[in-house]
Structure 1
Amino acid sequence: MSSWLTVVTALSSALIRIASFIFLRWIPGHVFPPVILTCSGLYLSSTFLILGTDAGAEVQKTTTVDKSKIQTRKHDTGETGSTFKSLLSGVPSKKTVFSTTLNILINLALTALTLDFLYRGRILHPTDDLAFSRIGYVSPTTANLLVREPHVSNFPMTIKYQEAAQVDSDYWVEEGKIYQLNAVKDFTFPVTIKNLKPSTQYRYSLSNNQTGTFITAPQSGTQSASRLSFLTSSCIKSNFPYNPLSHPLRILGVEELSHAIKKLPSLKRPSFMLFLGDFIYIDVPLRYGSSLEEYRAEYRRVYSSPSWHEPADEPPIDLPWIHTLDDHEIANDWDKGNLTHPYPEAVDPYHLYHVSVNPPIPPLPYATPENTTYFSFIHGPASIFMLDTRTYRTTANLYNSTMLGSAQLKSLLAFIARPEAAEVKWKIVASSVPFTKNWHVGTQDTWGGFLGERQVVLKAMWRAERELGVRIVLLSGDRHEFGATRFPDPSYGLSSNELSSGTADAYGIHEFSVGPLNMFYLPIRSYRQTDSEDIMVKYVPDGNIKFGQIDIELYDGTGGESDVVYDHLEGPHSVLTYSLHVDDKIIWKYQLSIPLLPDEIGTGAQARLPPGKVLLDDAQLRGWGLQEGIGYIEEKAKIAWDDLKERIAPFLSWERKEMRVD
């Protein structure tokens, strides 16, 4: 009986420690809390039984009978060895009071930290009373403002604005009043501030003491419209990796984002954040429910984070955020359409908090507006299409599988084929999941599970680049890693060297997939190139905080401000620079340009856009490949298990001897 108690105690103690470390610092998976809490109960129960009266009496009896053996054992192993063995195994003993007490405290503390991570934010920081405002989509003459105000005493609420450079601080323009809000729309209301000047900074003020600032977009055709800076990322989970001293709703990634913005020169301050999904994690670490109120509370919990208001002089809540939808806002790997539970409950707060202040729907949506959840807009030199990859998708890897649905696909193809104004040089397609099939874990949840539809889209993109004089860039998120991939146009007839990763002549449509803004990452490497269709440009898996910075500027041949001058390009050309931020620094920079290379035009050869160029590469790939990683884990697990058995076996053998009555 005692030997089984010892095994249960040692095993439950080991599981508490290993699972707690993984859960709190590595991956907040839903499987770990039940393991930790169950093992904690087992550990405390078995510890109580081992230290119980009968066991203690039996140990005392054995001690009296065979005192010489114990003295010999103490002489051989020493108190230090006994203490170390007890701390390692977690098994209690009345002879090692200090280590037994410490073991109990360690395992209780880890269990308490797990419960703290799960429930402190929910219990101590309720969000029903949250009042806040934020800026969404901004055009040259309008700005979308989201307001939440649940307190009846603050109505009617007046909305005013003024130019930030206004000398007379008492002169405000009144946009309107909100007379009441109610629970039907979770006390939210979208406001459009109109009659604004392009490229102008404004401040707004609400009578409930909510304030903020924003800058309008440039007017088409002006010099300001030749440049654009914005940010992109995905995936937010508060207070992860877990820190017991942090506010439970703190989002360190949002703070790092703000610090990075403050370091930028004024011309490269971002115009907006293009956030590509998983703004909430309804099912991580645990799904507490699937009701409408549960989904709404998750959005309020994220917006209740103090990180949105740090630093106070330039809070990140003032940056316009534009959103797409992904699976964790509904359920993991969601592919059950827009009628199946819990999609209706999940999409309600997504519409209230995000869609209501998002950009307009495309001019040709091919669906009624109330059934359209994809968007497009033009900002300076870029025309942007934001996909919804969840609402309309069907089961992957079938002959007729669709990621977008018929209406959205038609709208996207119309966007790709549409001629743009002369100053628009870039078409940007934003997808919550990667286009590349180079990720070999969860591939069917990406465009890798919808290769037929992907090929239709890529063919339209290649044709547009050849015929419209624009360059197309793909942005995505979801993977908690960074991957840059290019998709060469088959009509280029590229050589095998040009189709290999790491080549200096990086031709093709480029995708930049980045995340998380604040979430876990894995040391097991799952991205690798397997063919000549998806060419790896760069892979950076490490980092709990990752986001991309896109800077588009016009180089006029006089020096410009671009980091690399394309000497072979004559006359004005537009340059896009992608900077990858990991934690608190930029570790990789890459550059694309347009127009077509002039030395290819008129020669009979297929005209090509200039190849991409690496400007900076401070990223060091650490960790393991997928297959190597699995083998490594198996090897290390076997070594650890053998070592554990070796350490516990003598103790168990001694326990059996000590408990035996001859």
Structure 2
Amino acid sequence: MASTSDVLTLVSSVALRLSIWIFLRWIPTTIVPGLAIVLTAVYVPCFFTSFQDTEQYKLISDELDIIVKHTIARDDDDDDDDDSSDEIQLIDGADQGPLEELDVQETIQYEEREPKILRTLLTGLPSPSSALWSWVTFAINMALIAMALDVVYRAPLLHQCHDASFGRVGYVSDHGANILVREPYAFDVRVLYRSIDEPNRSWMHKIHPASQPSHWLTNDTDFTTVLSLDYLRPDTAYEYVIETSSGNKTGTFTTAPRPGRTSLLKDNKYTFVHSSCIKPRVPYTPFQHPLEFPGMKHLARWLPELSPYFMLFLGDFIYIDVPHRQGKDSESYRREYRQVYSSPSWPAVSDHLPWIHVIDDHEIHNDWNSNMTGVAVPAYDAFTHYNAAPNPPAHRKGHTYFSFTQGPAEFFLLDTRRYRSPENKDPKDTAKTMLGAEQLEDLLAWIHKVPHNGVNWKFIVTGIPFTKNWQFGSEDTWGGYLHERRTILEAAWELSTTAGVGVVILSGDRHEFAATSFPPPAGSKWPVSATVHEFSTSPLSMFYLPFRTYKEMDDEDVCIKYLPDGNSKFGAVEITNPPHGEQSLLNYRLFVDGKEAWTHVISTPPSRDGSHRAKDAVWG
């Protein structure tokens, strides 16, 4: 029967191995670091207690055989008659009688114990007979613990990136570009740029004279600033060089086509990519750089073919609280951004691709809904300096939601964390708001405004899913704010019906992919051609959920496609205007773990005048 120490050793070891495997290779959950400490505290003493029983041989039996031999038959008469016999002296107190000889034989039976190598290596129990294999299985558990500690503490302790100097391209319009730079030293930062179609033209430049005391970059902004490149030509490819104290960063970007037009450079196609959620070393391998993002290599491989204008990143650019929060001050948040921009994976996806950002919960804290209180203050400080500053202009000055127009599309980038009401279990609570009164008013006005001629699409960009089909954690999504969601949908249906503009929602957050349509209610004043579509795509480099959480519940949110698996997902949106057609086409391409997994085409509503029934006949 197994001893108590053996049982505890087995249970704690198996639980430790399983939890750390999940932590390293699947989900770096916040539960595991604390759980691993408890399991290790149980495993180590129990292992050494069980280890005391490790012996090469096992005793089967130990028998003593005593053989009694009568050697001398003695009585009083014989003693008198036998003069030749030796006189035998009895021990005091011994009885008179015949003397006996005792022959004692001990028989020991034993067997060599099996080392049970496989059991030892798989379970973490000490080997019954081999100290070597016992130490090997103990070392396996200690190595797993070391790997978990490596994930949690190596980057924060050894890669704080205080000295990092770098630059990246942010929002690029049809006439300008924003360049974010970080320079902690007194070094004059320069950005050189020129159009690629004029290689013999001299370089234009923009400079920030950080070597001069009046222009020093300070810790107030974590030594960052934005340089704006002006007077650029629309729909033109530019090459650039960013000179910092750490060296030169080179790359290219393409200015946007004018509103209402598509690119002449890119086969009359307007393309951008989107995704969300990145965390270094997921899944984990021991020899990775501690700041490596495995999923970014898939995006980098497709960029030359897709040739997108920009990346629309929908939140969770950092994971301040996963797997273990290292601090709650501004420096803790700023360090996370510096680490991303110092990653060896970053240049391949940024040298030739501008990035535009929205904020979500893990830039603050998981499922954040407490407005600008507590950790939200340092969180927004870091987000503002690193990601919001080079973004498009704020839709309303001083706020963190943005809007812009490029080519055939308009974009409204929501902030779904800063202004929302606290969550509750009633999704139809009319008092709750996701956006706050001011942002909602601005969004509705933007939706209702008829766009520039040739602008056929409006994109509502939200960090969290718009559909209510996600059943796990739906209170944190738009599924928990259905009254406000319906207000937005009605505005979108009205615009599509009256102006023939397609409305598309882009979201992330769920580490899965789902395409959902939101048709107008049957029998309503809006035709089915006014249907709103959502493409929710994530993660770019993070875990995916091991269980299915998306399910169509009714005819309000219609599932088009659900693809949950994959550690790396991103979508490419391609807009074309057929030369002899009246409708604009949107081709959505989904990429999962480096392979194109799904394609879907939608069109704008027909521009034909008449009843909604006539429009549906054309559209359908």
TM interval, shorter chain, is 0.7 to 0.9
1:20 Cα offset (Å): 1.1
Listed as ranges, the matches of 1:443-454 within 5 Å are: 443-454=474-485
2:279 is the alignment partner of 1:247 = no
The equivalent residue for 1:635 is: none
1:254, 1:316 within 8 Å by CA — same for their partners in 2?
no
The equivalent residue for 1:158 is: 190
Q: Aligned pair in 2 of structure 1 residues 256, 88: CA closer, same or farther (>3 Å)?
A: closer
- Which residue of 179, 182, 207 corresponds with 1:148? 182
RMSD: 2.5
- Which residue of 541, 557, 578 corresponds with 1:534? 557
1:176 Cα offset (Å): 3.1
Q: Secondary structure of the residue that 1:224 maps to in structure 2?
A: coil
1:605 Cα offset (Å): 2.3
The equivalent residue for 1:381 is: 408
The superposition leaves residues 144-191 of structure 1 with CA deviations (integer Å, 9 ceiling, x where unpaired) of 000001122xx233333222233336x222323332211111010011
User: For the residues of structure 2 that align with 1:606 and 1:19, how far apart are their CA atoms?
Assistant: 59
2:412, 2:443 within 8 Å by CA — same for their partners in 1?
yes
The superposition leaves residues 448-483 of structure 1 with CA deviations (integer Å, 9 ceiling, x where unpaired) of 110010011111111111111211011100000001
Q: Secondary structure of the residue that 1:160 maps to in structure 2?
A: strand
- Which residue of 299, 313, 321 corresponds with 1:275? 313
Q: Secondary structure of the residue that 1:581 maps to in structure 2?
A: strand
Higher mean C-alpha displacement, 396-405 vs 525-534: 396-405
Give, as a single letter, the amino acid of the residue that structure 1 aligns with 2:126: P
Count residues with an aligned counterpart. Answer: 561
Give, as a single letter, the amino acid of the residue that structure 1 aligns with 2:255: T
The equivalent residue for 2:200 is: 168
User: For the residues of structure 1 that align with 2:471 and 2:109, how far apart are their CA atoms?
Assistant: 58
1:261, 1:269 within 8 Å by CA — same for their partners in 2?
yes
Higher mean C-alpha displacement, 293-302 vs 121-130: 121-130
The equivalent residue for 1:192 is: 228
Higher mean C-alpha displacement, 60-69 vs 225-234: 60-69
1:523 Cα offset (Å): 2.3
1:507, 1:610 within 8 Å by CA — same for their partners in 2?
no
Listed as ranges, the matches of 1:363-378 within 5 Å are: 365=396, 369-370=397-398, 372-378=399-405
2:278 is the alignment partner of 1:236 = yes
User: For the residues of structure 2 that align with 1:529 and 1:402, how far apart are their CA atoms?
Assistant: 24
2:512, 2:537 within 8 Å by CA — same for their partners in 1?
yes
The superposition leaves residues 590-641 of structure 1 with CA deviations (integer Å, 9 ceiling, x where unpaired) of 001124175xx546726339769xxxxxxxxxxxxxxxxxxxxxxxxxxxxx
2:617 is the alignment partner of 1:594 = no
Give, as a single letter, the amino acid of the residue that structure 2 aligns with 1:246: Q
1:544 Cα offset (Å): 0.4
Listed as ranges, the matches of 1:318-329 within 5 Å are: 318-329=352-363
User: For the residues of structure 2 that align with 1:403 and 1:610, how far apart are their CA atoms?
Assistant: 36
2:464 is the alignment partner of 1:430 = no
Higher mean C-alpha displacement, 481-490 vs 389-398: 389-398
Bigger fraction of residues in helix: 1
2:580 is the alignment partner of 1:545 = no
1:43 Cα offset (Å): 2.0
Give, as a single letter, the amino acid of the residue that structure 2 aligns with 1:184: D
2:114 is the alignment partner of 1:79 = yes
User: For the residues of structure 2 that align with 1:347 and 1:554, how far apart are their CA atoms?
Assistant: 39
Listed as ranges, the matches of 1:490-529 within 5 Å are: 490=521, 508-529=531-552
Listed as ranges, the matches of 1:93-242 within 5 Å are: 93=127, 95-152=129-186, 155-168=187-200, 171-179=202-210, 180-208=216-244, 209-222=248-261, 224=263, 227-242=269-284
User: For the residues of structure 2 that align with 1:594 and 1:294, how far apart are their CA atoms?
Assistant: 45
User: For the residues of structure 1 that align with 2:612 and 2:130, how far apart are their CA atoms?
Assistant: 86
Q: Secondary structure of the residue that 2:194 maps to in structure 1?
A: strand
2:529, 2:605 within 8 Å by CA — same for their partners in 1?
no
Q: Secondary structure of the residue that 2:389 maps to in structure 1?
A: helix
1:346 Cα offset (Å): 0.5
- Structure 2 unaligned spans of 5+: 64-106, 211-215
1:597, 1:608 within 8 Å by CA — same for their partners in 2?
no
Q: Aligned pair in 2 of structure 1 residues 172, 19: CA closer, same or farther (>3 Å)?
A: same
The equivalent residue for 1:651 is: none
Q: Aligned pair in 2 of structure 1 residues 491, 607: CA closer, same or farther (>3 Å)?
A: farther
Give, as a single letter, the amino acid of the residue that structure 2 aligns with 1:451: L
Q: Aligned pair in 2 of structure 1 residues 70, 319: CA closer, same or farther (>3 Å)?
A: farther
Q: Aligned pair in 2 of structure 1 residues 123, 79: CA closer, same or farther (>3 Å)?
A: same
User: For the residues of structure 1 that align with 2:243 and 2:122, how far apart are their CA atoms?
Assistant: 60
Listed as ranges, the matches of 1:301-380 within 5 Å are: 301-310=339-348, 315-338=349-372, 340-362=373-395, 365=396, 369-370=397-398, 372-380=399-407
- Structure 1 unaligned spans of 5+: 499-504, 558-570, 613-662
2:506 is the alignment partner of 1:471 = no
Give, as a single letter, the amino acid of the residue that structure 1 aligns with 2:539: P
Q: Aligned pair in 2 of structure 1 residues 609, 298: CA closer, same or farther (>3 Å)?
A: farther
Q: Aligned pair in 2 of structure 1 residues 39, 65: CA closer, same or farther (>3 Å)?
A: farther
Bigger fraction of residues in strand: 2
2:174, 2:233 within 8 Å by CA — same for their partners in 1?
yes
1:597, 1:610 within 8 Å by CA — same for their partners in 2?
no
The equivalent residue for 2:329 is: 291
1:420 Cα offset (Å): 0.8
1:383 Cα offset (Å): 0.6
1:573 Cα offset (Å): 2.6
1:430 Cα offset (Å): 0.5
1:516, 1:547 within 8 Å by CA — same for their partners in 2?
yes
Q: Secondary structure of the residue that 1:424 maps to in structure 2?
A: coil
Q: Aligned pair in 2 of structure 1 residues 406, 211: CA closer, same or farther (>3 Å)?
A: same
The equivalent residue for 1:48 is: 48
User: For the residues of structure 2 that align with 1:238 and 1:205, how far apart are their CA atoms?
Assistant: 27
2:616 is the alignment partner of 1:608 = yes
User: For the residues of structure 1 that align with 2:127 and 2:296, how far apart are their CA atoms?
Assistant: 48
The superposition leaves residues 266-307 of structure 1 with CA deviations (integer Å, 9 ceiling, x where unpaired) of xx4100011000000011111111111000001111111101
1:222 Cα offset (Å): 4.6
2:571, 2:589 within 8 Å by CA — same for their partners in 1?
yes
User: For the residues of structure 2 that align with 1:337 and 1:610, how far apart are their CA atoms?
Assistant: 46
Q: Aligned pair in 2 of structure 1 residues 386, 604: CA closer, same or farther (>3 Å)?
A: closer
TM-score, normalization by structure 2: 0.85
1:47 Cα offset (Å): 2.0
User: For the residues of structure 2 that align with 1:192 and 1:604, how far apart are their CA atoms?
Assistant: 46
User: For the residues of structure 2 that align with 1:94 and 1:434, how far apart are their CA atoms?
Assistant: 55
1:69 Cα offset (Å): 7.2
Give, as a single letter, the amino acid of the residue that structure 2 aligns with 1:198: P
2:61, 2:108 within 8 Å by CA — same for their partners in 1?
no
TM-score, normalization by structure 1: 0.80
1:375 Cα offset (Å): 0.6
Q: Aligned pair in 2 of structure 1 residues 235, 156: CA closer, same or farther (>3 Å)?
A: same
1:138, 1:144 within 8 Å by CA — same for their partners in 2?
yes
Q: Secondary structure of the residue that 2:235 maps to in structure 1?
A: coil
1:128 Cα offset (Å): 0.5
Q: Aligned pair in 2 of structure 1 residues 207, 478: CA closer, same or farther (>3 Å)?
A: closer
Listed as ranges, the matches of 1:647-658 within 5 Å are: none
1:272, 1:322 within 8 Å by CA — same for their partners in 2?
yes
1:594, 1:610 within 8 Å by CA — same for their partners in 2?
no
Give, as a single letter, the amino acid of the residue that structure 2 aligns with 1:380: G
Q: Secondary structure of the residue that 2:411 maps to in structure 1?
A: strand
